[in-house]
Structure 1
Amino acid sequence: MVNPTPDSAPDAARLLRAARELPHQRVAAIELDGRRYWIKRPEAAPLRLRLQKGNGAAAFQREMARLTAFAERGAPVPAIMAQSPDMVILADAGLPLSHLAQHGPAEDMVFLLAQAARALAGLHAAGLAHGRPRLRDICWDGADIRFLDLEAGARLDAPRWRRARDLLIFLHSIFQHDTDMSALAGGALAAYGDADHAQVAPLARKMARGLAVVAFLVAPLIRRDRKRGKKNSEFVALADLLNFLS
């Protein structure tokens, strides 16, 4: 679904009123005038998780501040359509690449992964790091790539190593999603390289060599998951990624 333009979108007050009529959920979709939007609220975690993860309201405000700052830098993130202290309403960003990879033809993913890789390189060229650019956090609305969930790892003016880690996480997500996706990683990396004005890819390869120690330590888990034919194994994906980048 293509994001609404300011002229076609409902005003913020109307969106907020409609959102408050729905049952309270941390993340929920809302339809208005034939368009979909997403409501996000702070996480109301039990005490144990609050001690582990920190104050949910503060984390929510930090994420919204990052979203605004990313948008001001021209990053492809969902537009904030309405906001209040207890919620934000975002324009629909389309379907996650993880969903499209599972339900769409492989030839579509060649194009979509290349688009995502170029968008990630553009984000990095602006000095930004997403922190967790996995396929489930990258959406396609039929026209544009959008990055979701700017959580703790998102950074403005990110050092190059954080942007290189972004690239490794993105590639690892391709390998982890499905073994059939591994053949598409080369095209995605090539597309990233075409737009890699910040020269992040060479550093990512160098960082990958350092991960060989991690792969050695989890080698029994890699062998176990390969033997079982386990799908979506993060350990097998790590081994495949390091082999791909070697």
Structure 2
Amino acid sequence: MTKPAIQAVVDQVLAANKGKRVVSFEYEGKTYWLKQTEQLTGAMRLLKSQPGQSLQLEIATLQSLAQKGAPVPELVAFGDNYLVVADVGSPVNHWLDKRSDSDMQAQILKDSAIGLAKLHQKGLAHGRPALRDICWKEGEVSFIDFEANQKDTDIEKQQVRDLLVYIHSLYRYIGPHPELVEPAICAYREAGGESLWQASRVRIRRWQWLNYLIAPLKTIGGKDLRPVYWLLKHFASA
């Protein structure tokens, strides 16, 4: 059987980049990313095991999620030690760092929230939808690095966790600016996420007492602690 034209390019990239974890290349005007099995050295061989198995699991996950209609990068080629996906743009947190205008950044944030709501409406969960794991390109949102197990028995619990992680990430990268964060959360709710937002509100109610302890740290705490204050405040004031 004749190989697809892109496979010949992939073979060339593999030969020229042996051992490199991730490299990008161009083909017919489009960008693709080649990811190879992680090459472990020294103590990392003890800390991480079976990198080849991890890569194959990632391939299987991309295939399964694509079949379910999830917005994931297109898997265009793969083998025993590599996979190739189409480029899906920069992570949302990178767009916040770029010199794009504030209106565009606000739209990207809303798009990311709507994308998460649509993912949840498909009965799926991400596991850790921080802004660095949500990519945006020309109005299209894609998710990378899924961690959820997608079990039907606990999918709502995972989706609630998704939303809490997402809101925490908004405040982590944007800072204490509800005027920027709240429109994104509203976009999630209006795109079909209202019931999960309400479930998140109920779940986090028992943790509101924490704000009395961390309020003094809301401006001086660590980058992961500060957003907790604003996450709790969002649901407390809603």
Same fold (TM over 0.5): yes
| CA-CA distance at 1:163 after TM superposition | 0.6
Query: What letter corresponds to residue 183 of structure 1 in structure 2?
Result: E
Query: How much does 1:101 deviate?
Result: 0.7
1:22 maps to what in 2?
16
TM-score normalised to structure 1 length = 0.83
Q: Work out the percentage of aligned pairs sharing the same amino acid.
A: 29
Residue in 2 that maps onto 1:122: 118
Over residues 190-211 of structure 1, what are the superposed CA-to-partner deviations in whole Å (9 max), with x where a residue is unaligned? 1111222682111112222244
Take 2:102 and 2:202, find their aligned partners in 1: how far apart are those partners?
Answer: 30
3-state SS in 2 of match to 1:159: helix
Match of 2:219 in 1: 226
Map 1:93-108 → 2, pairs under 5 A: 93-103=88-98, 104-108=100-104
Which residue type is aligned with residue 113 of structure 1?
L
Q: Does 1:172 align with 2:165?
A: no
Matches within 5 A, 1:211-222: 211-212=207-208, 219=214
Aligned position for 2:55: 60
- Deviation, 1:22, is 2.9
Q: Does 1:40 align with 2:35?
A: yes
Range that drifts further, 174-183 or 131-140: 174-183
Deviation at 1:40, TM superposition (A): 1.2
Matching residue within 189, 202, 206 for 2:202: 206
What residue identity is the alignment partner of 1:236?
R
Task: Give the Cα–Cα distance (whole angstroms) in 2 for the partners of residues 25 and 181 of structure 1.
Answer: 39
Separation in 2, partners of 1:54, 1:198: 41
Match of 1:194 among 186, 190, 194: 190
Contact 1:212 1:242 in 2 (8 A): yes
Tell me: CA distance 1:156–1:53, structure 2 relative to 1, closer, same or farther (3 Å): farther
**Alignment map for 1:116-155 (pairs within 5 Å):** 116-150=112-146, 152-155=147-150
Cα distance in structure 2, aligned partners of 1:227 and 1:197: 32
Report deviation, 1:145: 0.6
Q: Measure, in 2, the Cα distance between the counterparts of 1:53 and 1:198.
A: 39
Amino acid at match of 2:64: A
Cα RMSD of the aligned pairs, angstroms, is: 2.5
The CA distance in 2 between the partners of 1:123 and 1:238, in whole Å, is 24
1:93-142 CA distances to partner (integer Å, 9 max, x unpaired)?
01111111111222112211111111111111111111111111111111
TM superposition shift of 1:244: 1.2
The CA deviation at 1:224 is: 5.1
Tell me which moved more, 41-50 or 19-28: 41-50
Aligned residues: 230
The residue type equivalent to 1:117 in the other structure is A
Letter matched to residue 146 of structure 1: S
Structure 2: runs of 5 or more not aligned? none
Question: Which whole-Å deviations, capped at 9, do the CAs of 1:18-66 have from their partners, x for residues lacking one?
Answer: 3213323211111223321001122233464454444222122112211
Taking the aligned partners of 1:189 and 1:94, their CA distance within structure 2 comes to 22
Give the partner amino acid of 1:59. Answer: S
The structure whose RCO (Cα within 8 Å, separation 6+) is larger is: 1
